[in-house]
């Protein structure tokens, strides 16, 4: 993003129209202000959920299991937009339980972006994962400010309780929810009670493998 944000200032002395304003301080000032505002707009915070749920709204089964995610045959292993989504975010913020679930898989570290783990109970992450993830503490707004200062503004928010705690503070901007056509009958819920209603607008829906629906919603702006 930085190269886009700084482009007008970098080009001021080239022959593309910005040359004029470099000799007129007041216009220069206006250009700087506009550029700063554009930068702020382009670096606007976005907290996004990308999650799979059952028809009855659970993200893990009664035993915390995820086998049901594979209940629809996917012979070509299509990723349902995951890589594209990951490519568009700066970092991942996940709850301790999701972190521990990922650590329990016998696989290489699966994330290509920085991972921040929220926990009130942990004092540090296991040594084995200290190069892969960082522990973050404090209120959600404190954590978001800390991450913003580090340049992470487009965040993937993951984990049931974690998503719910962001929603309680109206801090989720987008939700991409993939619904697997199965009733689990119980488990870890995606949503919980909120202090008030939150309206979202529909962005798009996609059908994968003839039976998995992915819905993208954006928080309606409140005037
Ligand atoms: N279907 C999917 O797409 C999907 C996606 C992600 C996860 N999952 C599954 O969902 C399960 C995990 O979800 P979950 O709801 O149990 O837990 P979670 O959100 O992953 O983790 C909850 C923990 O995160 C910490 N936390 C959350 N909000 C916090 C806050 N505001 N401030 C400080 N700490 C906070 C707390 O840790 P402490 O207790 O240490 O304070 C809390 O106990 C796993 O089974 C995982 O596999 C499924």
pTM: 0.85
Residues 6+ apart with CB under 8 A from 3: none
Map out the domains of the chain as residue ranges. 6-39, 43-219
Instruction: Please report the pLDDT score of residue 43 as a whole number.
Output: 67
pLDDT digits (tens, 9 = 90+) for 181-211: 999 999 999 999 999 999 999 999 999 999 9
Ligand 1 within 6 A of CB of 187: no
Mean residue pLDDT of the chain comes to: 86
**Which atom of ligand 1 lies at the shortest distance from residue 122's CA?**
40
As separate numbers, helices (DSSP H) first and strands (DSSP E) second, the chain gives: 7, 10
DSSP string, 23-46: T-HHHHHHHHHHHHHHHHHHT--E
Residue nearest to atom 27 of ligand 1 (CA): 162
Distance 92 CA to ligand 1 centre (A): 13
HSE, CB side, 13 Å, CA atoms: give it for residue 20: 3
pLDDT for 20? 34
pLDDT at 108 over 90: yes
Å from CA of 104 to ligand 1 middle = 14
User: What is the distance between the alpha carbons of residues 168 and 200, in angstroms, rounded to a whole number?
Assistant: 14
User: Which of 49, 118, 175, 180 has the most ligand 1 atoms within 8 A of CB, as the residue to mutate?
Assistant: 118
Please compute the mean of the pLDDT values over residues 70-81 and round it to a whole number: 97
Q: Which residues contact 181 (CB under 8 A, 6 or more apart)?
A: 55, 71, 72, 211, 212
Predicted confidence band at 44 (pLDDT cuts at 50, 70, 90)?
confident
- Greatest Cα pair distance, the chain, in angstroms, is 69
Decide if pLDDT at 178 tops 70.
yes
Give the residue carrying structure tokens 């989720």.
172
- The verdict on the CB of residue 160 being under 6 Å from ligand 1 is yes
pLDDT on residue 222 = 72
**pLDDT score recorded for residue 65:** 97
Q: How far is the CA of 51 from the centre of ligand 1 (A)?
A: 12
Contact 18, 127 (CB under 8 A): no
pLDDT tens-digit series, residues 16-38: 333 333 444 555 555 555 555 55
Residue 98, both tokens:
């999701």
Cβ neighbours of 56 (radius 10 Å): 13
Using one digit for the tens of pLDDT, what is the confidence trace for 122-171? 999 999 999 999 999 999 999 999 999 999 999 999 999 999 999 999 99
Strands 115-118, 91-95: pairing is parallel
Ligand 1 centroid–CA 75 distance in Å is 30
43-219 carries CATH number 3.40.430.10: yes
Number of other CB atoms surrounding residue 103 within 10 Å: 16
The DSSP string of 34-83 is HHHHHHHHHT--EEEEEEEEETTSEEE-TTS--GGGG-S--TT---TTHH
Distance 98 CA to ligand 1 centre (A): 5
Residues in CB range of 156: below 8 A, 6 or more apart: 48, 49, 50, 85, 86, 89, 91, 92, 93, 113
From the list 178, 177, 173, the residue with the least C-alpha distance to 199 is 173
């Amino acid at each position: 993003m930085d190269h886009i944000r700084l482009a007008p200032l970098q080009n001021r002395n080239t022959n593309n129209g910005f040359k004029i304003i470099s000799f007129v301080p007041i216009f220069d000032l206006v250009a700087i202000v506009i550029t700063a505002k554009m930068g702020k707009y382009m670096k606007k915070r976005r907290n996004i959920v990308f999650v799979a749920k059952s028809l009855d709204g659970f993200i893990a089964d009664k035993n915390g299991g995820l086998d049901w995610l594979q209940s629809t045959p996917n012979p070509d292993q299509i990723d349902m937009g995951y890589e594209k989504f990951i490519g568009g975010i700066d970092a991942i913020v996940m709850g301790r339980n999701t972190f521990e679930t990922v650590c329990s898989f016998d696989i290489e570290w699966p994330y290509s972006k920085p991972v921040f783990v929220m926990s009130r109970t942990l004092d540090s992450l296991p040594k084995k994962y200290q190069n892969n993830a960082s522990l973050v503490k404090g209120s959600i707004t404190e954590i978001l400010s800390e991450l913003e200062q580090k340049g992470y503004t487009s965040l993937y928010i993951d984990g049931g309780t974690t998503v719910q705690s962001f929603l309680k503070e109206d801090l989720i901007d987008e939700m991409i929810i993939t619904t697997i056509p199965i009733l689990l009958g119980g488990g870890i819920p995606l949503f919980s009670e909120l202090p008030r209603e939150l309206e979202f607008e529909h962005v798009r829906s996609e059908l994968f493998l003839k039976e998995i629906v992915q819905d993208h919603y954006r928080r309606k702006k409140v005037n």
